């Protein structure tokens, strides 16, 4: 079973839409969770960490369900600039340890 699995997408939504991405992870020892964003042929960039109580950063809301080993990302009021691939990432143990990436979900926001 893959360490991190995501909706493959692609998602194509109009500007202003709300879109949700899901992710599951296989290792219950995972302790830290993140959403990264990756533009075409560029490096991954941290979008937000995901906390057990859920957290919000502007238009972005992340949720974590440890019992189900499930992570989600909700984007409200989508902008053209949100078009990218969204990577679900988990980390076991130390915050200095290796990251396990999902394959990513591609989002295209159209005008």
Tokens encoding 100: 């396990």
Q: Which stretch binds another protein (CB under 8 A): 20-28, 38-46, 61-69, 74-82?
A: 38-46
Written as one string, the DSSP assignment of the chain is --SEEE----EEEETT--EEEEEEES-TTEEEEEEEEE-TTS--EEEEEE-TT-EEETTEEEEEETTTTEEEEEE-S--GGG-EEEEEEEEESSTTS-EEE---EEEEEE-
Choose the stretch contacting another protein; rule: CB under 8 A; options: 18-26, 53-61, 72-80, 102-110.
102-110
Q: Is 44 in the site for another protein (CB under 8 A)?
A: yes
Comparing CB distances to another protein, the nearer of 46 and 80 is 46
Nearest approach in angstroms of CB 67 to another protein is 25
Which of 45, 59, 66, 79 binds another protein (CB under 8 A)? It is 45
Chain residues that interact with another protein, rule: CB under 8 A: 4, 38, 41-46, 87, 95-104
């Amino acid at each position: 079973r893959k360490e991190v699995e995501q909706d493959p997408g692609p998602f194509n939504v109009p500007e202003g839409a709300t879109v949700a991405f899901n992710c599951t992870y296989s290792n219950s020892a995972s302790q830290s969770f993140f959403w990264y964003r990756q533009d075409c042929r560029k490096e991954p960039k941290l979008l937000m960490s995901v906390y057990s109580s859920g957290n919000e950063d502007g238009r972005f809301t992340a949720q974590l369900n440890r019992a189900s080993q499930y992570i989600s990302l909700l984007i409200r009021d989508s902008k053209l600039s949100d078009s990218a691939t969204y990577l679900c990432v988990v980390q076991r143990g130390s915050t200095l340890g290796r990251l396990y990436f999902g394959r990513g979900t591609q989002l295209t926001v159209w005008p």
